[in-house]
Amino acid sequence: MKQVTFHEDARAELAEASHYYEDCISGLGQALIDDVEKTASEILAHPKACKLISKNLRRKVLRRFPYSLIYVVETDRVRIMAVAHHKRRPEYWRYRLA
């Protein structure tokens, strides 16, 4: 069975964003984490159902927050490469693929 793993920079992005939202409204940071976890579970259930944005890279938009999970489907896992904010510089995370 496949598992979901996060690139270390993607994990840092999630932590930074959740802290930001938590500072805005108590509980909102956890809501972001919950949304990411739910979306990651959906990806794991159907890893190839999401939009292909390059040869091996896919994108799944979060339901509640302006973020997408950018991921790669590997043999034994789904690797989240970025927790990408929709207003950030496009494809800033590309260097992580090397």
Neighbour tally for 34: CB within 10 Å: 12
Residue 89 has pLDDT above 90, yes or no: no
Tally of structural domains, the chain: 1
- Residue given tokens 């040869």 in the structure block: 55
Alpha-helix residue ranges (DSSP H) falling in the chain: 8-24, 28-45
Report pLDDT digits (tens) over 24-79. 999 999 999 999 999 999 999 999 999 899 889 999 999 999 999 999 999 999 99
Report, as an integer, the average pLDDT of 7-12.
Answer: 97
Query: For residue 66, what are the domain limits?
Result: 3-95
CA dihedral sign, ordered 29, 72, 4, 93: negative
Q: Which residues pair with 5 in a beta bridge?
A: 79
Residue 10 has pLDDT above 90, yes or no: yes
18 and 26 Cβ atoms separated by less than 8 Å: no
Report, as an integer, the average pLDDT of 20-24.
Answer: 98
User: Rounded CA gap, 75 and 22, in Å?
Assistant: 36
CATH for 20: 3.30.2310.20
